[in-house]
């Protein structure tokens, strides 16, 4: 199998030379991305301009790591390769460990994304906080297949690179999280290999913000929560009107109000929360199945709370819906929509 590497770099200093030299030993070619480095650092890119296996991509200004990776991905697609390696230029990823990724893939393991997993206990506190937090949140949604969600030392299949360029929006450091999210939500096989935990001078120059970057993983969940609340208001308003003014039995009122709300809910989740590009008819079919389960389940909860628990039917309704909230989020991302 053929491997190429993408190394994004911003004012890298002399460390980039060692990174490129060591990476060339294990790959067919290196795409070195200058993400708007200043004049003093241009020399570290210029020395590779005439190398036959090193391809330089330049940004006129600093766009962020995500954009640098995407520029490297696009350049790589002009080359012949099966897998693409991403690693940093600052010496915190050891190119010798590309062998570990190769061993994982070439001994029969099939994966579209393989992530280098570090030892959290050896990280500086700033990085440890962000990594532990995002790993826990990610694990809650997708399982524990990858313990290090923030690692930039990865190997990605050519097919998945093509998919990433179509489906993921480039940004800064959150892009790597978005790529990992895309892998799980599109049903890709994801693996992990243990790598050395290296931090130069305790990572004092890291641009990683453990609060802002970690919370980015919750963005979709926050939007889901807001639209869930708006759907609940619509649902509950119809339910209350039918009960209070229409005199309709509370179970029937729940079915009618839920039916109206879920139509609204389907489209806002498809186009605003999950950014789905899947076939609407197929997704609607899966969604109807999920809705049927929801209506049945909430109706059972309502009956138990009202008839057996002696709850007010107006308080029982939000309680029953709250039980289904998190279940809905997990099922929609995995079962209903083809998400980005």
What is the pLDDT, as a whole number, of residue 194? 93
pLDDT along the chain (340 residues), means of 10: 97 95 98 96 95 97 95 98 96 95 88 90 70 74 72 96 92 82 86 86 52 59 78 90 84 87 84 68 82 83 87 83 72 58
State whether residue 82 is helix, strand or coil. Answer: coil
The residue ranges of every structural domain in the chain are: 3-210, 220-336
Determine if the pTM surpasses 0.85.
no
For residue range 147-197, what is the model confidence (pLDDT) as tens digits? 788 889 999 999 999 999 998 888 776 788 889 988 987 889 999 999 998
Q: For 80-100, how does the pLDDT look when each residue is reduced to its tens digit (9 = 90+)?
A: 999 999 999 988 899 999 999
Task: In whole angstroms, give the CA distance from residue 23 to residue 86.
Answer: 10
Report the alpha-carbon distance of residue 260 to residue 247 in Å, rounded: 18
pLDDT on residue 215: 59
Strands 29-35 and 3-9: parallel
Residue-level pLDDT at 94: 96
Please report the pLDDT score of residue 233 as a whole number.
92
Structure tokens at 231: 């759907």
The CATH number corresponding to 3-210 among 3.30.70.100, 1.10.357.10, 3.90.550.10, 1.10.3720.10 equals 3.90.550.10
- How far apart (Å, rounded) are the C-alpha atoms in residues 94 and 78? 26
Strand order in the sheet with 113-117: 54-59, 29-35, 3-9, 83-86, 154-157, 113-117, 190-194
Alpha helices in 201-312 (DSSP H): 212-215, 219-244, 250-268, 280-303
């Amino acid at each position: 199998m053929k491997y190429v590497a993408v190394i994004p770099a911003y004012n890298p200093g002399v460390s980039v030379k060692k990174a490129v030299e060591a990476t060339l030993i294990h790959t067919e070619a290196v795409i070195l991305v200058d993400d708007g480095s200043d004049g003093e650092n241009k020399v570290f890119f210029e020395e590779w301009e005439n190398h036959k296996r090193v391809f330089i991509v330049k940004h006129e200004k600093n766009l962020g790591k995500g954009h640098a990776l995407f520029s490297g991905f696009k350049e790589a697609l002009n080359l012949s390769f099966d897998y693409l390696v991403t690693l940093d230029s600052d010496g915190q990823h050891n190119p010798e460990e590309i062998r570990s990724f190769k061993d994982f893939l070439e001994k029969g393991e099939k994966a579209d994304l393989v992530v280098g997993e570090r030892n959290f206990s050896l990280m500086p506190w700033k990085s440890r906080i962000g990594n532990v937090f995002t790993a826990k949140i990610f694990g809650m949604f997708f399982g524990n297949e990858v313990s290090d969600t923030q690692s930039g030392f990865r190997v990605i299949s050519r097919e998945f690179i093509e998919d990433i360029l179509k489906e993921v929006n480039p940004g800064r450091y959150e892009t790597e999280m978005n790529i990992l999210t895309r892998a799980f939500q599109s049903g890709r096989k994801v693996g992990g290999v243990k790598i050395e935990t290296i931090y130069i001078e305790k990572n004092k120059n890291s641009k990683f913000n453990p609060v802002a970057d970690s919370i980015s993983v919750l963005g979709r969940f926050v939007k889901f929560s807001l639209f869930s609340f708006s759907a609940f208001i619509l649902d509950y308003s119809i339910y209350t009107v039918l009960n209070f003014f229409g005199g309709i039995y509370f179970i029937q009122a729940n079915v009618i109000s839920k039916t109206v709300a879920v139509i609204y809910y389907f489209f806002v989740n498809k186009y605003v929360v999950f950014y789905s590009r899947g076939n609407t008819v197929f997704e609607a079919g899966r969604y109807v199945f999920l809705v049927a389960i929801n209506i049945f389940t909430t109706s059972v909860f309502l009956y138990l709370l009202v008839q057996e628990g002696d709850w007010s039917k107006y308080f029982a309704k939000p309680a029953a819906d709250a039980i289904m909230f998190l279940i809905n989020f997990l099922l929609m991302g995995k079962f209903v929509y083809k998400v980005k």
